[in-house]
């Protein structure tokens, strides 16, 4: 299966393609019941794999191993992978991109931040000189075969945002992302300078960008929307609530209602789907 081509065709189809941020195999298993596209979020992976903030702790072999597990369990889902700055060195970036493509990633996002890096919606971001980033980006583009490459800028100064967005659109990158864009008006301005290049919009709870529906993004001519952390933040709230209730009840589990709650049976059935996806005849039996 040509995963890059499949995602590229989806991006070019009418409407805005949603890719949902997942942080581990279980969250991906739940998302797979609702959407056919994953975003392998650096924020979520740093939080779940290391228990650390998204400021540059991720080691590329860990990310590659995670994507390999995802592809094994989800053979037909889109997998867009956040590779941050390509792990600093351009040749490392190329190596990681080739490894990811071989194990079935659909695409990657490569940013222009310099170290110490930050979450795209955090303050204090610094960017590489444009020429230095373009050199890294072009090496990555030359090293991929079919993989979708999203060129991302984290520029914050208004003139620099437009200058970099226009330069990124002029490359062979498939999609452009300006992260932390603050308003609908700025989405329109960015769209003007990138021409007909597909545009990606990143939404994160508590972030700097406006909350927009897929219909609104389609009207703004944004071809892709990534949702970085809905699963991670929902899990945080749900776990905290469940343990608060458990402590309040002196350790007694709440009464379990099979039709409403998640118990061992429903959890096991969810995970069994990750086996049956490789056996279409069995998938219809396991629900």
pLDDT tens digits, one per residue of 36-71: 999 999 999 999 999 999 998 999 999 999 999 999
- Strand locations in the chain (E): 17-22, 37-40, 78-82, 107-111, 148-153, 175-178, 199-203, 224-227
Q: How distant, in Å, are the alpha carbons of 25, 134, 182, 212 from that of 91? A: 29, 14, 33, 37
Name the residue among 18, 19, 23 with its Cα closest to residue 236: 23
Task: Write down the mean pLDDT value for the chain.
Answer: 93
The whole-angstrom separation of Cα 285 and Cα 287 is 6
Give the SS3 label for residue 179: coil
Per-residue pLDDT in tens (0 to 9) along the chain, 287 residues: 799 999 999 999 999 999 999 999 999 999 999 999 999 999 999 999 999 999 989 999 999 999 999 999 999 999 999 999 999 999 999 999 999 999 999 999 999 998 878 776 767 678 999 999 999 999 999 999 999 999 999 998 999 999 999 999 999 999 999 998 989 999 999 999 999 999 999 999 888 889 999 999 999 999 999 999 999 999 999 999 999 999 999 999 999 888 888 999 999 999 999 988 877 665 544 44
Q: Is 189 exposed, middle or buried (0-12, 13-18, 19+ CB in 10 A)?
A: middle
Note whether 266 and 276 are within 8 A (CB).
no
What was the pLDDT predicted at 286? 44
């Amino acid at each position: 299966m040509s995963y890059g081509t499949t995602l590229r065709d989806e991006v070019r189809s009418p409407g805005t393609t949603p890719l949902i941020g997942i942080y581990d195999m279980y969250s991906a298993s739940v998302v797979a019941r609702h959407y056919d596209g994953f975003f392998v979020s650096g924020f979520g992976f740093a939080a779940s794999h290391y228990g650390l903030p998204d400021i540059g702790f991720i080691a590329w072999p860990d990310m590659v191993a995670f994507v390999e597990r995802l592809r094994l369990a989800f053979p037909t889902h889109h997998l867009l992978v956040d590779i941050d700055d390509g792990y600093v060195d351009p040749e490392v970036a190329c190596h990681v991109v080739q490894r990811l493509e071989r194990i079935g990633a659909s695409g990657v996002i490569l940013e222009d931040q310099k170290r110490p890096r930050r979450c795209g919606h955090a303050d204090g971001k610094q960017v590489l000189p444009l020429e230095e980033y373009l050199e890294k980006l072009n090496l990555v583009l030359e090293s991929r075969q079919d993989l979708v490459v999203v060129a991302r800028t984290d520029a914050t100064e208004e003139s620099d945002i437009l200058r970099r967005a226009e330069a990124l659109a002029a490359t062979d990158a498939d999609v452009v992302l300006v992260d932390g864009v603050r308003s609908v008006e700025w989405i329109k301005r960015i769209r003007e300078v990138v021409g007909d290049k597909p545009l990606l919009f990143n939404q994160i709870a508590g972030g700097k960008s406006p909350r927009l529906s897929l219909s609104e993004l389609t009207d703004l001519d944004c071809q892709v929307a990534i949702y970085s952390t809905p699963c991670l933040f929902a899990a945080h709230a749900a776990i905290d609530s469940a343990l608060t209730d458990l402590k309040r009840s002196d350790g007694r589990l709440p009464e379990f209602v099979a039709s409403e709650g998640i118990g061992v049976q429903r959890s096991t059935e969810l995970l069994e789907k990750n086996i049956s996806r490789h056996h279409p005849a069995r998938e219809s039996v396991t629900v």
